[in-house]
């Protein structure tokens, strides 16, 4: 009897599961065969066209050969810059003669003018009045020896125009006492009107009136060429 009841229970469970499965299949079948519903209402109209975005970055090379050529040219330019960094002598940069002092900068003189005009003319060629070389008297003497009598007195990028005796380089740095190369007795701000600095052939400095006319000593990093 016990075995019979067990078999009967298993049979009933099978029938129930079969019924559930059949019901599931019928439900799926009804879903698959259901009719298409009515079309919904149209969506909102398109919004206004947005403003033009910023210009994207430069795209990649259009060919492998162009990429290789560009890379080689960039490497040559960088090598020339590094080579100039440690060499002294005359360098032809974009058709213009500059003097390399071996300190990472190039130097060139321009026609004489007052201090403010000298600033502008140096900036116009991508340079500035010298602010690095004047701090090293040996470098300065080398530069002055190169330009010789053509530029015995030159403007450098140092002044106290904003505040008396608060000397500031043209790159915004304040003058440190360890960097000074003043000529004996200078600066003296004679007649309270000497706010700009000229460079003597000896490499020493003197404060003079900014309206005086001297040769600008322009300075440019080799990495700006």
Q: What distances in angstroms separate CA 1 from CA 9, 10, 13, 22, 149, one per listed residue?
A: 12, 14, 19, 32, 132
Q: Tokens at residue 209, please?
A: 């009136």
Here the contacts of 87-93 (C-beta below 8 Å, separation 24 or greater) are: 88/142, 93/225
- pLDDT score of 97: 92
Q: What is the mean pLDDT of residues 161-174?
A: 95
Number of CB atoms found within 10 A of residue 126's CB: 13
- pLDDT score of 18: 45
- pLDDT score of 124: 96
- pLDDT score of 32: 47
The pLDDT mean for the chain works out to 79
- pLDDT score of 1: 53
Question: Under CATH, what is the fold of the domain 107-218?
Answer: Mannose-Binding Protein A; Chain A (3.10.100)
E-strand ranges in the chain read: 88-93, 96-101, 105-109, 128-129, 154-159, 168-169, 196-199, 205-208, 215-221
- pLDDT score of 127: 97
pTM as predicted: 0.63
- pLDDT score of 92: 85
Instruction: Kindly tell me if the per-residue pLDDT of 49 is higher than 90.
Output: no
Q: Tokens at residue 44, please?
A: 């909102």
- pLDDT score of 57: 62
Q: What is the mean pLDDT of residues 167-192?
A: 92
Q: Which helix (H) or strand (E) holds 140?
A: helix 137-147
- pLDDT score of 115: 98
Instruction: Kindly tell me if the per-residue pLDDT of 98 is higher than 50.
Output: yes
Of 191, 195, 199, give the one whose Cα is nearest residue 210.
195
For residue 131, how far is the Cα from the chain centroid?
Answer: 20
- Domain residue ranges in the chain: 107-218
Q: What distances in angstroms separate CA 31 from CA 19, 28, 157, 216, one per listed residue?
A: 19, 5, 86, 90
- pLDDT score of 116: 98
Instruction: Kindly tell me if the per-residue pLDDT of 51 is higher than 60.
Output: no
Q: What is the mean pLDDT of residues 40-69?
A: 62
Instruction: Kindly tell me if the per-residue pLDDT of 102 is higher than 70.
Output: yes
Cα separation, 135 vs 53, whole angstroms:
47
CB 124 within 8 A of CB 133: no
Percent of the chain with pLDDT over 90: 48
């Amino acid at each position: 009897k016990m075995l019979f009841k067990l078999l009967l229970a298993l049979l009933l469970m099978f029938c129930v599961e079969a019924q559930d499965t059949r019901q599931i299949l019928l439900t799926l079948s009804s879903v698959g065969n259901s009719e298409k519903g009515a079309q919904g209402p149209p969506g909102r109209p398109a919004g206004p066209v947005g403003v033009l975005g910023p210009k994207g970055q430069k795209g990649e090379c259009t060919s492998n050969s162009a990429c290789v050529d560009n890379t080689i040219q960039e490497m040559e330019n960088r090598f020339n810059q590094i080579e100039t960094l440690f060499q002294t002598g005359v360098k032809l940069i974009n058709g213009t003669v500059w003097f390399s002092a071996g300190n990472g900068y190039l130097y060139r003189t321009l026609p004489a003018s007052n201090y403010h005009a000298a600033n502008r003319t140096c900036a116009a060629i991508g340079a500035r009045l010298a602010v690095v070389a004047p701090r090293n008297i040996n470098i300065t003497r080398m530069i002055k020896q190169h330009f010789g009598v053509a530029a015995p007195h030159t403007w450098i990028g140092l002044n106290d125009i904003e505040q008396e005796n608060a000397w500031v380089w043209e790159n915004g740095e304040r003058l440190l006492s360890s960097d000074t190369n003043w000529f004996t007795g200078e600066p003296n701000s004679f007649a309270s009107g000497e706010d700009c600095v000229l460079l003597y052939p000896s490499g020493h400095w003197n404060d003079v009136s900014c309206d005086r006319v001297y040769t600008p000593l322009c300075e440019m990093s080799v990495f700006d060429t």
